[in-house]
């Protein structure tokens, strides 16, 4: 059971990697974009902190929050300053990425 499953996962990631090389595609770029967020927003089950966990939240909630931070509609300490650095497309990619995480 584990054998085929593992192979399937390996193939899945390999196919994604292949697609990236053909033309920069969503998955790998999204992971790259998201890698800078996880310095504050943990994706680990080991810890809980005062900084909100965003992994597993609905995509629409995350995207809407980022857009509201960007316009200043949603109060923030630091996310208003950070959200202004991302495009609509990047916000959508980040939202999709984090919502797909556990």
- Which residues form the interface with another protein (CB under 8 A)? 7, 10-11, 14-15, 17-18, 20-22, 24, 28-29, 31-33, 35-42, 44, 46-47, 49-51, 77-78, 81-86, 90
- Least distance (Å) between residue 61 CB and another protein: 20
- Least distance (Å) between residue 58 CB and another protein: 22
- Least distance (Å) between residue 90 CB and another protein: 7
**Residue 49 half-sphere exposure, CB side, CA atoms within 13 Å?**
12
42 vs 99, beta carbon nearer another protein: 42
Residues 6+ apart with CB under 8 A from 51: 40, 41, 42
Q: How far apart are alpha carbons 17 and 19 in whole angstroms?
A: 5
Please report, for residues 39, 63, 65, 85, 95, the alpha-carbon distance to residue 89 in angstroms, rounded to integers and kept in the order given: 22, 10, 14, 12, 10
20 vs 59, beta carbon nearer another protein: 20
- Least distance (Å) between residue 80 CB and another protein: 9
């Amino acid at each position: 059971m584990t054998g085929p499953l593992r192979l399937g996962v390996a193939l899945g990631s390999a196919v994604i990697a292949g697609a990236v090389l053909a033309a920069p595609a969503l998955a790998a770029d999204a992971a790259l974009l998201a890698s800078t967020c996880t310095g504050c927003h943990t994706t680990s089950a080991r810890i809980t902190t005062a900084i909100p966990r965003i992994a597993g939240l609905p995509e629409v909630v995350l995207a809407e929050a980022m857009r509201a931070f960007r316009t200043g509609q949603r109060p923030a300490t630091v996310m208003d300053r950070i959200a202004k650095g991302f495009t609509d497309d990047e916000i959508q990619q980040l939202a999709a990425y984090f919502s797909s995480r556990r």
